[in-house]
Amino acid sequence: MRKLVLGTVAAAMLATSGFAADYVMKVSHVVSASTPKGKAADFFEKRVEELTGGKIDVQVFPNSQLYGDGEEIKALAMNNVQVIMPSLSKFTSIAPQMQLFDLPFIFRDKQHLYNVMDGEVGKILKSKVDEKKQMIALDYWDAGFKDLSSSTKPLILPTDANGMKFRIQSSKVLEAQFKSVGGNPQVLPFSEVYSALQQGVVDGTENPLSNFYTKKFHEVQSSLTMSEHGYLGYLVVMNEQFWNKLPKDLQANVSQAMKEATALERKESALEDAKIMEELTKYSKETNKLQIIELTPEQKQQWRKAMSVVYPQFYDVIGEDLIKKAIDTK
Ligand code: LMR
């Protein structure tokens, strides 16, 4: 889809020689193209096409245009799409151990998170996905820590969540997390969150700032609590049959492009939070329609205490040892 980046002369030569790519690689995701994931997917497209000299035509479909998050894993297994990058929570049905990343307050900071992802725990979890045969796990991408938001009462203490309806992704850990504070969790696809918030189907949700802002959830929420209580990341996966069909040199090109895209994605994610906070603060001051709540360390500690009770419920599913290994990762 990006022949023009080859340059006008090269593109003209290809057009007259009746050039067609040897492979078409469709890439689908559910978020805006301006999020870190969206930008990295577009960069991956550009780099694969450059490195393969156009032998692979990459086509990126953002915003659930091709598949929503209820369908994309199935579509990948059937090779109807070749690359997807669902959030780690969405692997629950095929590799429930991935829910480790959903455990509230498990990561001390970004460095701890990266050390877990890039270390032994991340490798073990990737292998659970690889075992599924139709797909191979490439790299972890990052969206950032999640914050709580609400359209009813401001969420300052865990008791404020009592009786509220929260949108969650399809993860048992996230379900337990909201139940632990008296909330009513409801699984909804990402593409339906805005209207569900607008119509009061749910009162609140949790998002990394990039998803919250690019999907304009601030228009349909009255408060945002900087809770950073949980994490949202991605695993980029490719259809195994498609990968196996690629000649070795093209596989090397794709791996190189993915390595570069991962580095860019993480950098973007780190930069994005600060930029979005500025925008949201401005919006909050100008419109008076969004209250931004910074928690004190004591208030945050109360959320941690209330939500962390869910851990033992997942010792069997995720593995107590693996959870311990993640916590103990330096
Ligand atoms: C969500 O459903 O909230 C996220 O997984 C969307 C995404 O891909 O970041």
Question: Cα of 12 to ligand 1 centre, how many Å?
Answer: 39
Could you identify the atom of ligand 1 that is nearest to the CA of residue 87? 5
Kindly report the pTM of this predicted structure.
0.92
Can you give 109-151 as a three-state secondary structure string? CHHHHHHHHHCHHHHHHHHHHHCCCCEEEEEEEEEEEEEEEEC
Mean predicted lDDT score pLDDT of the chain: 94
Maximum Cα–Cα distance across the chain: 68
Question: Cα of 16 to ligand 1 centre, how many Å?
Answer: 42
161 φ, ψ (degrees, to nearest 5): -80, -10
Q: Worst-scoring range by mean pLDDT, 90-94, 262-266, 283-287? A: 90-94
User: Is there a contact between 227 and 297 (Cβ–Cβ < 8 Å)?
Assistant: no
Kindly tell me if the per-residue pLDDT of 9 is higher than 60: no
Q: Which residues partner with 112 through β-bridges?
A: none
Could you identify the atom of ligand 1 that is nearest to the CA of residue 190? 2
Kindly tell me if the per-residue pLDDT of 15 is higher than 90: no
Burial class (CB in 10 A: 0-12, 13-18, 19+), 108: exposed
Could you identify the atom of ligand 1 that is nearest to the CA of residue 85? 8
Kindly tell me if the per-residue pLDDT of 274 is higher than 80: yes
- pLDDT bucket at 1, cuts 50 / 70 / 90: low
Q: To test the ligand 1 pocket, which listed residue (65, 69, 187, 205) has its Cβ within 8 A of the most ligand atoms?
A: 69
Kindly tell me if the per-residue pLDDT of 104 is higher than 70: yes
* pLDDT, tens digit, 9 for 90 and up, residues 50-72: 999 999 999 999 999 999 988 99
Ligand 1: residues with CB < 6 A are 30-31, 69, 87, 143, 169, 190, 211
Q: Domain residues for 78?
A: 2-328
Could you identify the atom of ligand 1 that is nearest to the CA of residue 29? 8
Predicted confidence at residue 19, as pLDDT, reads 67
User: Is there a contact between 88 and 98 (Cβ–Cβ < 8 Å)?
Assistant: yes
Interacting residues of 266 by C-beta distance below 8 A, sequence separation 6+: 36, 114, 141, 142
Give the total number of structural domains in the chain.
1
* pLDDT, tens digit, 9 for 90 and up, residues 136-194: 999 999 999 999 999 999 999 999 999 999 999 999 999 999 999 999 999 999 999 99
Residue 99 tokens, joined: 């829910």
Interacting residues of 188 by C-beta distance below 8 A, sequence separation 6+: 167, 168, 196, 201, 202
Give dist(CA 215, CA 218) in Å, integer. 8
User: Is there a contact between 49 and 5 (Cβ–Cβ < 8 Å)?
Assistant: yes
Q: What CATH number should be reported for the domain holding residue 134?
A: 3.40.190.170
